[in-house]
Each structure stands twice: as structure tokens, then as C-alpha cells.
Amino acid sequence: MLAHYAESHRNSHNELIHCICVPLIVFAVLGMLWAINIGIALLGVAAALIYYYTLGRKPALEMAAMLAVMLLVWGILIPPFHQLLVAIIIFIVAWIGQFVGHHIEGRKPSFLEDVRYLLIGPLFVLAVMTGHRPAEMNGS
């Protein structure tokens, strides 16, 4: 699935946009959940990590580290009374960036084919940012 996702993200400008916007979208979603209820945010993270573990131990561990840092930021650095507004603004701006990237790429967003690509996008970004090829992220 990751290799298929990579096929529609070959343009270097689109990859760069994804490396910025995908983590921001994940961060924003966590922030919205955190602002609503911390338990819901943690439940969402647990569900995502279970899915990532079905793809392999390495992707699950890498995503766990990324999600833990994001949760710490929401819990420690962003004042509770601003969390929801900050999360919504980040979410909107990051999605605008994503659609600009897909316009540059000339391809529609992968999640329109399969909603699971919303969870694959962060793995793709990890692969790009750590210098791995998408196939290397599967398993192990």
C-alpha cells in the first residue's frame, strides 16, 4: 500500500509539501481530539498504532514516537483554551497545502481511492524524511 501511495507522490515539490503538511494534519487532528477529550485522543492514537502494527513493527514504533511527541506538545506547550482554535487553523492551512501539492503533481489525493491512505500518508512522510524507500517501511 505504501508503494502504491508513493506512485502518486513522485514530484519533489509535492513530496516536500507532504513532508510539511501531513505531519501538521496529524498534529491538528490529535489537537482537535485532545481539545475535545484527552481520552478520545489517546484512543485514536491506540487505534492508529494497532493499524500500523499490522503493517509491521518498525512502522508502528516510528509512528508511536512521532505521535507521542505530538501529544506531548498538545499537553505541555499549547494552552488548553487555545487548543481547538489552533488545531482547526493548522488543519485548514495544511489541507490547502496538500491540495496545492496534488495540483502540482497532477493527481488526485490517494485517500479518495481508499480512506486507509489517510493513515499511510504519515508513513510515507517518515520514509521520505528518513531516507528510506517506501518498500523498506513495510514489515521488519
Collect all residues with Cβ–Cβ distance below 8 Å to 43 and sequence separation of at least 6: none
Could you tell me how far CA 135 lies from the centroid of its own chain?
Answer: 18
59-89 residue pLDDT tens: 899 999 999 999 999 999 988 899 999 999 9
Q: Is 100 exposed, middle or buried (0-12, 13-18, 19+ CB in 10 A)?
A: middle
**Residue 125: enclosing H or E segment and its boundaries?**
helix 117-129
**Band of pLDDT at residue 135, cut at 50, 70 and 90:** low
Asked if the structure places residue 37 within a domain, the reply is yes
Give pLDDT, residue 117.
87
Give pLDDT, residue 140.
40
Domain range spanning residue 57?
Answer: 2-7+25-133
3-22 residue pLDDT tens: 777 777 878 898 899 999 99
**Rg (Cα) of the chain, in Å, rounded?**
15
Report how far residue 31's alpha carbon sits from residue 122's, in angstroms, rounded to the nearest whole number: 16
Q: Provide the whole-model pTM.
A: 0.88
Structural domains counted in the chain:
1
Asked if the structure places residue 109 within a domain, the reply is yes
Asked if the structure places residue 123 within a domain, the reply is yes
Asked if the structure places residue 60 within a domain, the reply is yes
**Band of pLDDT at residue 134, cut at 50, 70 and 90:** low
Nearest to 31 by CA among 96, 97, 76, 88: 88
Asked if the structure places residue 61 within a domain, the reply is yes
